[in-house]
Amino acid sequence: MNYSKEELVNMVYAIGEAHGNCLLASRIYQANNPDLQRYPLTKCFVKLKERFERTANANYEKTARTHACSNQDRQIDIVGCAIQNLSISIREISDEISISKSVVHRTLKKNNFHPYHPEHHQFLTKQDCQKRVLFTDESSSATTGRENRHNYHHYADQNPRLMREDDHQHRFKVNVWAGICGEYVIGPHFLEGNLTGNGYL
């Protein structure tokens, strides 16, 4: 039961009047307050005396609430569960270490753990790779100077000051397509002009 500030002060006065005897203090308090319907027990005076001697204050002490996510040992347990089983769920971690799912979720998020979902695809056998899988790629070449310069480089220990002609008065563009299926190479096929969906097909 929580008591008001005035009641706590009167209880301290009773303890002082009883010279620290909490049993006597409870009786003095009852005698000084005969109209009360309920009186504090002797153990309340004992706790109040201990608190007053420790803090010189009759008010209740405010306990600092430690957030579960800031507990280093708890974080290690949560992250450890995720590392040991990368497919474990938040519910399973919560049940295993007896902590709420919200705390588990916050802790994993705080430690940069994100639940990535795998992509589903058709199961393939070794024979499928040779018979059904077709690997293709295409490349465009033009005389407009808009080629992908990332594909052109020259390794040297000193700058050779290379130059490359990349602009022409008469412009043209060609696309090259090729594919690989099993042990066979398909193409290359040359497609002039801009590569469109119809032209690609």
> Structural domain of residue 42, as residue ranges?
5-55
- Tell me, yes or no, whether 121 lies in a domain: no
Residues 50 and 72 in one domain: no
- Tell me, yes or no, whether 116 lies in a domain: no
Residues 41 and 80 in one domain: no
At 74, list the tokens.
């708890």
- Tell me, yes or no, whether 158 lies in a domain: no
Q: Give per-residue pLDDT as tens, 151-195.
A: 565 656 677 777 766 655 666 677 788 887 777 788 887 877 676
Distance, CA of 164 to CA of 76 (rounded, Å): 58
Residues 170 and 194 in one domain: yes
Residues 140 and 100 in one domain: no
- Tell me, yes or no, whether 63 lies in a domain: no
As a whole number, the mean pLDDT across the chain is 75
Any idea which of 61-65, 112-116, 138-142 has the lowest mean pLDDT? 61-65
- Please state the domain count of the chain: 3
Residues 100 and 38 in one domain: no
Residue 161, Ramachandran bin (φ over 0: left; ψ between -120 and 50: alpha; else beta) = left
- Tell me, yes or no, whether 118 lies in a domain: no
Residues 186 and 142 in one domain: yes
**Run of H or E including 7:** helix 5-17
- Tell me, yes or no, whether 49 lies in a domain: yes
- Tell me, yes or no, whether 30 lies in a domain: yes
Distance, CA of 48 to CA of 3 (rounded, Å): 11
Mean pLDDT to the nearest integer, 29-57: 83
Residues 131 and 175 in one domain: yes
Q: Give per-residue pLDDT as tens, 6-38.
A: 888 888 888 888 888 988 988 999 899 888 888
Distance, CA of 107 to CA of 125 (rounded, Å): 40
Residues 83 and 38 in one domain: no
CATH of the domain at 82: 1.10.10
Work out the percent of the chain whose per-residue pLDDT is above 90. Answer: 0
Residues 138 and 89 in one domain: no
* Residues forming beta bridges with residue 173, ordered by sequence position: 142
Residues 48 and 72 in one domain: no
Instruction: Give the residue with greater pLDDT, 200 vs 100.
Output: 100
- Tell me, yes or no, whether 24 lies in a domain: yes
pTM, to two decimals: 0.32
- Which pLDDT belongs to residue 48? 83
- Which pLDDT belongs to residue 120? 73
Residues 104 and 140 in one domain: no
Answer yes or no: is pLDDT of 125 > 80. no
Residues 176 and 136 in one domain: yes
